[in-house]
Structure 1
Amino acid sequence: MKYQNTLAFAQQLDQEDKLAYLRNQYHIPKDNDGNDWLYFTGNSLGLQPKSTKKYINQELEDWANLGVEGHFEAKNPWLNYHEYLTDKMAKIVGAKPLETVIMNTLTTNLHLLMVSFYRPTKTKYKIVIESDAFPSDRYAVQSQLKFHGFSEDDIIAWKPRKNEELLRIEDLEEIIATKGDEIALLLIGGVNYYTGQFLDLKKIAEIGHSKNCVVGIDLAHGAGNIQPNLHESNVDFAAWCTYKYLNAGPGSLAGIFVHEKHAKNKNLPRFAGWWNHNKATRFNMRMPFDVMEGAEGWQLSNPPILTMAAIKASLDLFDEIGMDDLREKSEKLTGFFEFLINEIGSEDIKIITPKNPKERGCQLSIQVKNADKRLHQKLTENNIITDWREPDVIRCAPVPMYNSFMDVWQMVAVLKRLL
């Protein structure tokens, strides 16, 4: 599409947008005068669907009216509530229902998965992560190494080349070719939080498996944003949160994927609780542990219903639209944003996110030479909510669910004026 840098063109794109009605399904924060914020931080916390309160209130009413009987008699019986989320979540990440479950929170899930899939030996024990992985991932990996008697020095960092920001897949190939016999696990962010780069998960899995390394993916910045096709990628496991692009609320529960090739392997070491025990005998309290097949076999505790209700509200919207249409709009919306940033025509501003739409989601990371957090603060004063990352990057995510082409045009107009 040939874009134009005019208000009229932005308005035209919104008029032609078949998903424009979705914006009215979300609460858009407002300033003191009642004007909508320009909200570009769905990559940090997604906005609340207007249906969320209704979904949570249903469970509050059932709790009030039914007490413990709500496990069986609620409108959405609580006993198996997580199952209402599985099929819709599996579609979003490109997995089979057997491979998917909603449980716990992201870093907790990464640790539980590493209990099973990080099985170091005296000779094969190192872990590969991106050099600029999200801090929580690095901390998790460091602590796992220490727990097993190794050190932080046993992390191998996949780095961008000098004077570059993006990772090259051939550099990962080189790491595995030369050090693969020492590497037990690759734990890679599928979409890098800083640059917004979407990595080739299938290729990463092929590279890791070529030297018998386990491959895990953190999809915190990917789920609900890109289409990771987890089953086809053949990665061993993945985990993601639901409070960013999945709009399920602050600190909401997370999801995991375990490839079906591991579904029936009951000998994988794992922690146990009554919710990954065989459903048929779960309430016969004196039975020996009998682990369930598939991703459900990593659950520990019964589902927290109120937060799952918020997830259900969000996933129902995703299921109504489908990821194909969302990605189509996202590529157009982000492409327009990129065009407008480049139209500023300043040597002091650069987008470090990949230019290829297939190698990014909706996030653009905008590097501003000689800028500091005062620029971010000025944007905030103009009711533009973005995310600042040291030393000089503004992360912006025009989310197709609720951002408009007008949002993007207005944001760039203000940014140009401030610059």
Structure 2
Amino acid sequence: MLDINKIRADFPILNRKVNGHPLVYFDNAATSQKPRQVIDKITEYYTQYNANIHRGVHALSQEATDLFEEAREKVRAFFNIPETKQTLFTSGNTHSINAVASGAHVFVKEGDEVIVSAVEHHSNIVPWQMLCERVGATLKVIPVLDNGELDMDAFAKILNSKTAFVVVNHISNALGVQNPIEEIIEKAHEHKALVLIDGAQSCGHMKVDVLALDADFYTMAGHKMCGPTGIGILYGKEELLDRLPPYQGGGEMIDQVTFEHTTYAGLPHKFEAGTPNIAGGIALGAAVDYLESVGMENIAAYEDELLKYGTQKIKEIDGAVIYGDVDKKAAVISFNVGNIHPYDLGTIVDKLGIAVRTGHHCAQPVMDRYQIPGTIRASFAFYNTKEEIDVMVQALQRAVIMLS
């Protein structure tokens, strides 16, 4: 069992008030809050050893470089990435996906097909549309069932010898449904297709072992796992990263540069052009330390407890409809109440100090599938409590009365 009071004491923002009410933060699918251990690490970098990395012989540069690379190794071990050079720092999950999609013309040719799911975030749709437009490939979509699960029978039917890439999120940000990525990866590989898994919603909530999953590429968002914004991770199999051309050109990612020809550095630097988010990388290492100190198994079990409790309580609201109400899901509840617009409900509960997300959650095709303008999304983290869920439900019931 987790000592929730001790954990909450590590998160300074949880002490503040919003509109005169104690903050109830249920927007964790958008970004997680940061423990003091992570915040202090950022301050420490800028006050003790702020310098550019990999390039200087002076003490500050060497200290910063060592800490940055130590953080990379922490991330590698956390996700069971085979080698440190396969652990690439990016500016975030969107950057990681674009880094693959922009160079995927070496894997996808004219007439090929790229498969995405109907529950993808826009950042895992648009880059692949752009790729298909560039190379003359076709984008195919795995449909979603009424309960929010992917139609795996339909997936099996659209897989064929033309399938070059399959792209799907581990957990839907809009619905919280956990997709059967093990089955998806296995079936895709049977057709010799490559697979990219968007792990933005899984990386801070469950134990992820990229080696066991056998995904060809896996992306993570640092700010959704108690780390800072502006830092992400891209994992790829070494032979594929070697074939993939760099996403950006500049300093750090080169071997030799002349006006006639340029050769690129080896992994991971080939994909890390320019000065990276040094403080962010080091602080992400601190976030990994923090998550490991709590225990990912403990986090997953507790958040599942919050999910079950929150689902039960929201169902008690007259007229509430939950989208993606399935057994295998993350601690995300996406719902509406009657004909009330989600924006209106979200605005009122904000006045009572409760932060939930409203809208289409950058997953507009999901909302089109259910023929709704959007949902209210309450997403929990291991520093949340059942008492906070009670406060939210009471606020929602009050708002429903006001808007009915």
2: distance between equivalents of 1:258 and 1:249?
22
User: Offset of 1:274 from its aligned partner?
Assistant: 5.6
Report the alpha carbon displacement of residue 232 of structure 1 after superposing the two structures with TM. 0.9
RMSD between aligned alpha carbons?
3.1
Aligned partner (choices 266, 283, 290) of residue 292 of structure 1 = 266
Contact 1:27–1:47 (8 Å) recurs in 2: no
Cα separation, partners in 2 of 1:59 and 1:82, compared to 1, 3 Å = closer
CA contact (8 A) 1:216 1:237 kept: yes
Which of residues 173, 177, 183 is equivalent to 2:156?
A: 173
Is the CA contact (8 Å cut-off) linking 2:335 and 2:375 kept in structure 1? yes
Work out whether residues 194 and 365 of structure 1, in 8 Å CA contact, stay in contact via their aligned partners in 2: yes
Distance 1:140 1:213 in 2: 18
Contact 1:81 1:305 in 2 (8 A): no
**Aligned counterparts, 1:58-69, within 5 A:** 58-63=44-49
Among residues 241, 249, 257, which one is paired with 2:228 in the alignment?
249
1:101 is aligned to 88
1:28 is paired with a residue of what secondary structure?
helix
Q: 1:355 to 1:65 in 2, by over 3 A?
A: closer
Q: 1:334 aligns with which of 307, 326, 329?
A: 307
Aligned to 2:330: 361
Aligned counterparts of 1:101 and 1:81: Cα–Cα separation in 2: 15
CA distance in 1, matches of 2:279, 2:153: 45
Q: 362-371 or 182-191: which moved more?
A: 362-371
Q: Report the structure, 1 or 2, having the larger strand content.
A: 2
Helix, strand or coil at the partner of 1:111: helix
Shift in alpha-carbon separation, 1:296–1:191, aligned structure 2, 3 A: farther
- CA 1:33 to 1:164, structure 2 compared with 1: closer, same or farther past 3 Å? closer
Equivalent residue of 2:287, what SS?
Answer: helix
Aligned residue among 135, 148, 151 for 2:135: 148
Q: What residue in structure 1 maps to residue 363 of structure 2?
A: none
Amino acid at match of 2:173: Y
The CA deviation string for residues 141-196 of structure 1, in whole angstroms up to 9 with x for no partner, is 1222222245xxx21111114x45331323212221xxx22221111111112111
- The residue type equivalent to 1:256 in the other structure is L
Q: Distance in 2 between matches of 1:131 and 1:328?
A: 28
Contact 2:228–2:283 under 8 Å retained in 1: yes
The amino acid across from 1:102 in the alignment is: F
For this pair of structures, how many residues does the alignment match? 381
Verify: 1:384 aligned to 2:365, yes or no: no
Q: Secondary structure at the match of 1:223?
A: coil
Aligned to 1:110: 97
Tell me if structure 1 keeps the 8 A contact 2:143–2:150.
yes
Q: Does residue 238 in structure 1 map to residue 218 in structure 2? A: yes
Report deviation, 1:219.
1.2
What 5-or-longer segments of structure 1 have no aligned partner? 1-15
What secondary structure does 2:339 align onto? coil
Match of 2:113 in 1: 126
CA distance in 1, matches of 2:53, 2:212: 43
Letter in 2 for 1:292: G
Letter in structure 2 aligned against 1:121: K
1:138 corresponds to 2:125: yes
> Distance in 2 between the 1:64 and 1:109 partners?
26
Q: Is the 8 A contact 2:37 2:290 kept in 1?
A: no
1:412 to 370, 379, 393: 393
- Verify the 8 A CA contact 1:94 1:227 in the aligned structure 2: no
- Tell me what 1:219 maps to: 199
Counterpart for residue 321 of structure 1: 294
2 CA distance for matches of 1:200 and 1:80? 38
TM-aligned CA distance change 1:331 to 1:233, over 3 Å: same
Aligned 8 A contact 1:276 1:297 in 2:
yes
Q: For the Cα contact (< 8 Å) 2:71–2:285, is it kept in 1?
A: yes
- TM value normalised by structure 1: 0.80
TM superposition shift of 1:268 = 4.7
Query: 1:160 matched to which residue of 2?
Result: 144
Cα pair 1:216 1:238 within 8 Å, conserved = yes
TM-score, with length taken from structure 2: 0.83
**SS of match in other structure, 1:145:** helix
Q: Identity, % of aligned pairs? A: 15
Aligned residue among 337, 340, 343 for 1:371: 340
